[in-house]
Structure 1
Amino acid sequence: MNTHEAHTDLPALIQAGTITIEVIDTATAQLDPNVRSRLDGLDTLTDSIREVGVQEPVRARRGDNGEVYVWDGQRRLLAAREAGVEKMLAVFGLRDHSGSEADRILDQLRTFTREDLNLVDRVKAVEQLTLEGVSVAKIARSTGQSKDDVNAAVKVAKSEVALRAIDTYQLTLDRALYAAEFGDDEDALCAIADADEEELEFIAQQLRDRRELDEYTEALIAKLQAEGKTIASSYNAGVQLWSLTDADVDAEDRPSLDAESHATCPGAIYYLRVWGTEDTGYRLDQLCSSPELHKPRIGTSVARPTAGPVDETDEEREARLDAEKDAQRRERRRVVKYNRMWRSATKLRLQWLSELVNRKKLPADANVFVAFTLTRFRYEAINSEHSSILGKLLGLEGYDERNQAATLVENNPAKAEHVNLAVALSGRENHTSEFSWRQPNKTDEAYLLTLESWGYHLTEVERIAAGYAEPNDDPAPVESSDDEDDEPVED
């Protein structure tokens, strides 16, 4: 008996006439609203019915005017029609299915297995239940799902992009939830679909950070344009001010153009580089698109190419210089790539650490980590200012996180181990930076390896900082360009 059949004494109910088994006309019987939109395997079922007939009665109810509605057995009814079967058996009275549509949807969600019902249908059914006023808790309880899955289904159902992506990319519910978040960004959808399970959350965070940066850049450009500045799309759109002067050709002093005074030049344009959403996360370089209005400086210091072999031919020299430029571009893109990855990974790492220190049961060797931090790595734990990280880990607000943490222990001494771990983690976390991967050190390596032993998944850039070998990617040749459209790379 299916779980939705609550009756336990069927013979008695049949004898009393509460439940009846009747012959119905397949041509006039109607289908109740059904959450299943696709009927896979209907041809096979039709062939089977042609050969042996309908082996199991459908479940039906009668409408106000006596119409027959099949609420369980949609495929059997349609296959019977296709097979030319005019009559079939139906069971009436198994529960009162003349009730609300929500009741019928709940029955169908309970009855259909996950193989019977595709994800799009299940998501839409959950949404319909919420529109009918059924609570998330009841849906979860009645259908055997978690509340988180029900809430996720409601969000996914509101996104046509996510619903299409489920079929296009064969997404699971958690990935469909990300698809709903990133909307019509086709590149983001492909990244979500292709991501390894353990990297999925990190990929999503990178996409969020990229979107936030793009939105910030657009707003910043609009602000600068409102101030009357012309924003160049390429660094090659103008000449750098240090190479131009307004001094006479025979003047002894030939200073470069000053940005403030050059701002009124008709050729004044600006190239914007953005790498962060804070006030210090961008740089605005002024260029001149009308260098003929000025004079070139004489004796300007220009970076000279490295010297080659004495007997180097012109062709060899050109090839060597091209290779040097290509290597420099590759290194720059490598640094920019991993810097961005580090910033995204840091956000997820802090979130994971916050969940860690708030667990009821801490890692078995948490006290060992604290002891090492207070001894071997005491500088990071004591001499650096990391109270803001401590506040994030413990969920504290304000400017006195350390005192709040102490008060937390005073009020609940059992929290002492959690606070000790949070203090140690905040000190070690504060020591990390983008240089943790660029210049790996034993302090951060030991820290990240400890987190990994506690179940944290190290991303590619964190693995480099933890002492693992860097992936030996073989990127495609870098196109020759002088554009500097990423953040400055400093040693």
Structure 2
Amino acid sequence: MTQTIQPAPAPEEQDTAFVEVEPSTLIVGANVRLDARLDTEFVDSIRERGVRVPIVAHRNSLDQLVVLYGQRRTVAAVQTGRPTVPVVVIAEPGEADRLIDQLAENHHRAGLTTHEDVVAYQQLAALGVPAGAIAKRTARPKPVVEAALRVAGSEVARKSTERWDFLDLEQAAALAEFEGDDEAVKILVLAAQKGGFNHQVQRLRDDRESKRQRAELVEKLSAAGIRVIERPPMQDPKRAELEYLKNGRRQVTEDNHKDCKGHAAFIHHKYVHKNGQHGYVWEAQYACTNYPKYGHTHRYPPGASFSDRRKLEDMTEEEAEAARAERRDVRESNKAWDSALKVRQAWLKEFAARKTPPKSAAVFIARALASCDHQIRTAMEGSHKLTRDLFGVQHETYDSEHRRGKLLADLCTTEGRAAMVTLVMILAAYEENLPRDAWRRSDPGPVEYLRYLKSEGYELSEVEQRACNGGKKP
């Protein structure tokens, strides 16, 4: 049997009216959106500003208003206690027309672009509305508004949002950080388009901070009247680090050499690992620019053999270039790993805020505990230091007033939260005990850890992908 679908009445035949009604009197009718899916920002916006776009409804046989379009606005208005909402009342459409129109209303809508957001916030600021008030009245987080205003204040970031619609607000704000550095901006725009943005911006921040610290140290040395030179190569006939020099039997040191006319300093990039923190720092080390002339002797004079390591000058050109490339690779990969660590731990902190674990958690936890990996044992012996940092829980000792571990245990208020805390303890155990050269190893535990993070939405950097690939470049 063929059903004939009656078309909706023509616009001129519809009895349209505009009314203000109490939202609790509205009946939410059938809707293609099966779940209103109210988010905090939307509800806060309705609470602050009310319903600005009228709800569309029709009257049923009992003269009740049945919502056709505006399900989310209606539910949010009821939740926030709005006294009235605007409603446009139209004739009841046919069932097919209702479905088609509700689909059209939800699918054929375009959100604002990042550039449009930025321009709007900029205009509000120009009208004298402070960032906090903008955030309150638009029900957007204040950091989002502040980021938009930073973008508005940066010519390169603002123009980038206008040119490339794939940039989100957070990415555009990062571009503003690198105003004036055209190469960094190009790198970030490409990463926003191709992937790996968070890792790339962290690496650029780390490199910029490293250059700043180095320049600061050079300026400090120069202000003290100390000449800054390049690090002397081993067995240079004139220049040498003080640690290799002697005056007779006495070791040459910074203190007893500072009055020497050859006194100089070089800037050394040193890797440190202390109190759970690790990374490169710049430090000054000292040298003499002409040790034979100023009466010093070298522990290893030119021609002396003190290492079995082959020198570049003893290699073929191909071997020498391969050795240089390997050293560059180690140096750059270590730096990339240090930057990735910051991105990974920031992601873990957000992940730890979840109330319930993902479905994959139980299997991962069981496999990790069964493996008895070194990382898990070490974290347990250390009272889960990183886990406490991720949850913002005080570090306890055996001298604490209560049983050690109680503060973490107190987080387990429900079964779901307990499972989540357990998962985070396992993940944090791997994280805080990952070796710095994990990128060129193939340890099963760290590999499974990184792969699990990827399965839960974390974007692996190239160096982390390398760790999952037995040290091979992706």
The number of aligned residues is 344
* Structure 1 position 219 matched with structure 2 position 216: yes
In 1, Cα distance between equivalents of 2:240 and 2:198: 43
* Structure 1 position 326 matched with structure 2 position 321: yes
Cα pair distance change 1:399/1:344, threshold 3 Å: farther
Q: Deviation of residue 128 (structure 1)?
A: 0.9
Q: Deviation of residue 367 (structure 1)?
A: 1.7
- The counterpart of 1:183, out of the listed 179, 184, 187, is 179
Cα pair distance change 1:186/1:427, threshold 3 Å: same
Matched residue SS, 2:196: helix
Cα pair distance change 1:239/1:447, threshold 3 Å: same
Cα pair distance change 1:396/1:379, threshold 3 Å: same
- Show structure 1 runs of 5+ residues with no match: 1-7, 11-112, 248-253, 309-316, 473-491
Q: Deviations over 1:374-415 (max 9, x none)?
A: 221354223332633112322334556943212222x55652
In 1, Cα distance between equivalents of 2:315 and 2:204: 37
- The counterpart of 2:190, out of the listed 194, 211, 214, is 194
* Structure 1 position 287 matched with structure 2 position 284: no
Residue 433 of structure 1 aligns to which amino acid in structure 2? P
Matched residue SS, 2:355: coil
- The counterpart of 2:134, out of the listed 133, 136, 148, is 136
User: Residue 238 of structure 1 aligns with which residue?
Assistant: 239
Asked whether the equivalents of residues 271 and 285 of structure 1 are also in contact (C-alpha less than 8 Å), the reply is yes
Residue 336 of structure 2 aligns to which amino acid in structure 1? M
Q: Deviation of residue 227 (structure 1)?
A: 5.0
Asked whether the equivalents of residues 230 and 269 of structure 1 are also in contact (C-alpha less than 8 Å), the reply is yes
In 1, Cα distance between equivalents of 2:313 and 2:389: 54
Asked whether the equivalents of residues 238 and 269 of structure 1 are also in contact (C-alpha less than 8 Å), the reply is no
Q: Deviations over 1:438-459 (max 9, x none)?
A: 3331221121122222222211
Residue 332 of structure 1 aligns to which amino acid in structure 2? R
Residue 364 of structure 2 aligns to which amino acid in structure 1? F
Alignment of 1:355-366 (within 5 A): 355-366=350-361
Asked whether the equivalents of residues 394 and 422 of structure 1 are also in contact (C-alpha less than 8 Å), the reply is no
In 2, Cα distance between equivalents of 1:422 and 1:463: 22
User: Residue 387 of structure 2 aligns with which residue?
Assistant: 390
- The counterpart of 1:404, out of the listed 386, 404, 407, is 407
User: Residue 342 of structure 1 aligns with which residue?
Assistant: 337
Matched residue SS, 2:195: helix
- The counterpart of 2:206, out of the listed 194, 206, 209, is 209
User: Residue 31 of structure 1 aligns with which residue?
Assistant: none
Q: Deviation of residue 188 (structure 1)?
A: 1.3
Residue 240 of structure 2 aligns to which amino acid in structure 1? V
Cα pair distance change 1:299/1:428, threshold 3 Å: closer
Residue 410 of structure 2 aligns to which amino acid in structure 1? T
In 2, Cα distance between equivalents of 1:419 and 1:131: 46
Asked whether the equivalents of residues 442 and 471 of structure 2 are also in contact (C-alpha less than 8 Å), the reply is no
Residue 288 of structure 1 aligns to which amino acid in structure 2? C
In 1, Cα distance between equivalents of 2:349 and 2:136: 31
Q: Deviation of residue 327 (structure 1)?
A: 2.4
Residue 462 of structure 2 aligns to which amino acid in structure 1? E
Residue 268 of structure 1 aligns to which amino acid in structure 2? H
In 2, Cα distance between equivalents of 1:264 and 1:455: 59
Rg larger in 1 or in 2?
A: 1
- Show structure 2 runs of 5+ residues with no match: 1-15, 19-108, 275-279, 398-403
Residue 390 of structure 1 aligns to which amino acid in structure 2? T
Matched residue SS, 2:268: strand
Q: Deviation of residue 168 (structure 1)?
A: 7.3
Normalising by structure 1, we get a TM-score of: 0.59
Normalising by structure 2, we get a TM-score of: 0.61
Alignment of 1:72-87 (within 5 A): none
User: Residue 260 of structure 2 aligns with which residue?
Assistant: 265
In 2, Cα distance between equivalents of 1:126 and 1:328: 53
Q: Deviation of residue 285 (structure 1)?
A: 2.7
In 2, Cα distance between equivalents of 1:382 and 1:304: 38
